[in-house]
Amino acid sequence: MLARNVGPRAVLARCQQLYDEVGSAFAEAHDDINDRDYAVGKEKVAQATSLARQCDCMFAVVPPLIMHHHSYAIKIAVIYTAITNLVK
């Protein structure tokens, strides 16, 4: 986690790294769900959601537009979770 006195650039760099990991986790979840390995896909979605939420406390120092990307990632996680719950 970043210290409170870190500037917006450092926050954005860290969140970019986290969202790269979020994208990878969602891609893996997509592949797992397509392979009908729903439990593993659901775990990857949980991982993606956790990574996305790590930026929550950092958003106080970044532009509001970034919050839109965070909201989008959380919505994707909810959809993936709903799909895996329906196909069990």
| Residue 85, number of CB atoms within 10 A of its CB | 10
Kind plus residue range of the DSSP H or E element containing 34 = helix 8-34
pLDDT of residue 29: 92
2 domain residue, yes or no: no
Q: What is the extent of the structural domain holding 52?
A: 8-86
| 22 within domain boundaries | yes
Interatomic CA distance for residues 42 and 13, integer angstroms: 27
Which tops the pLDDT comparison, 80 or 39? 39
Whether 13 is in a domain gets the answer: yes
Structure tokens at 88: 């069990």
Whether residue 26 is contained in a domain is answered as yes
* Structure token digits, residue 28: 């893996």
How many structural domains comprise the chain? 1
In this prediction, residue 1 carries a pLDDT of 47
pLDDT tens string 27-54: 999 999 999 999 999 999 999 888 888 8
Question: Average pLDDT, whole number, for the chain?
Answer: 79
**pLDDT higher than threshold 90 for residue 78:** no
Question: Is 15 within a domain?
Answer: yes
Query: What's the pLDDT at 54?
Result: 82
